[in-house]
Structure 1
């Protein structure tokens, strides 16, 4: 179980670090031009897109650094919980935009983050 949680947390951390950094450094217009998956930015201000990206980068760090460094590992499930909230918002945005295939992607990320929350607060917490 611990190995599965580390694997999922690592994959999520890599995905959100890259995706979040992309949102932080790329202008909103270029994100929208990426294709159908980038059209969601039309519903947000440029600052809102950057804020979402910054939160994703922080969550990526929070998924692995506290446990690796042994400093406040309780932050790992809290970071994962933050991603659950972000992905719930993403899914709601996709539903409003009728982007049904992309809703499934968002819900998959949400489920993976929820798995980390459940595992790190329950059966495979760092405390025991």
Structure 2
């Protein structure tokens, strides 16, 4: 009995517009999360509490942890893609930032800070776009491939 010919699905390369959109999202998100991360890891908690309010309501270690996660996520959005060294880390970094924004939304919802939730949803959606795009639609090949 002969096996049936199975035609592999054709993988189309991602369009230029999608790649440009992904790079723009990666850069903007990296700047925003990078700056927020540096701010949360370096500024005194009292100063942060005056600007953002919520850092005064949680343990300082949690504020520093969130800042570190945001900063590392920002690096992960750009460095693996630019250097082409393990570019599969980019969608993972983006997914991590989606998680950070989802948790932030729940936190702000519990505190009744609805204006902050909209900001979290916008950033989380943009990070989800990068995670989806760099994982499924326009993955970047590692250097030397």
Q: Which structure is higher in helix share? A: 1
Q: For residue 20 of structure 2, what is the aligned residue in structure 1?
A: 3
| Aligned residue-pair number | 125
- Deviation per residue, 1:24-64 (Å, 9 max, x gap): 00111110111xxx122233211110111011110000000
1:92 and 1:39 map into 2 onto residues whose CA distance is 16
1:126 offset after TM fit, Å? Answer: 1.2
1:88 and 1:42 map into 2 onto residues whose CA distance is 20
Q: Which runs of 5+ in 2 are unaligned?
A: 1-17
Q: For residue 47 of structure 2, what is the aligned residue in structure 1?
A: 30
Q: For residue 34 of structure 2, what is the aligned residue in structure 1?
A: 17
Residues 88, 110 of structure 1: 8 Å contact kept:
yes
1:90 and 1:112 map into 2 onto residues whose CA distance is 15
Runs in 1 of length 4+ with deviation above 2 angstroms?
none
The one of 48, 52, 76 equivalent to 2:62 is: 48
- CA root-mean-square deviation: 1.2
1:8 offset after TM fit, Å? Answer: 0.2
Residues 105, 121 of structure 2: 8 Å contact kept:
yes
Residues 40, 93 of structure 1: 8 Å contact kept:
no
SS at match of 2:53: helix
Residues 76, 120 of structure 1: 8 Å contact kept:
yes
Residues 13, 59 of structure 1: 8 Å contact kept:
yes
1:70 offset after TM fit, Å? Answer: 1.0
- Deviation per residue, 1:66-122 (Å, 9 max, x gap): 011110000000000000000001101110010111110111000000000110111
The one of 93, 99, 108 equivalent to 2:113 is: 99
Residues 84, 140 of structure 2: 8 Å contact kept:
no
Q: TM-score, normalised by structure 2?
A: 0.83
2:27 and 2:78 map into 1 onto residues whose CA distance is 7
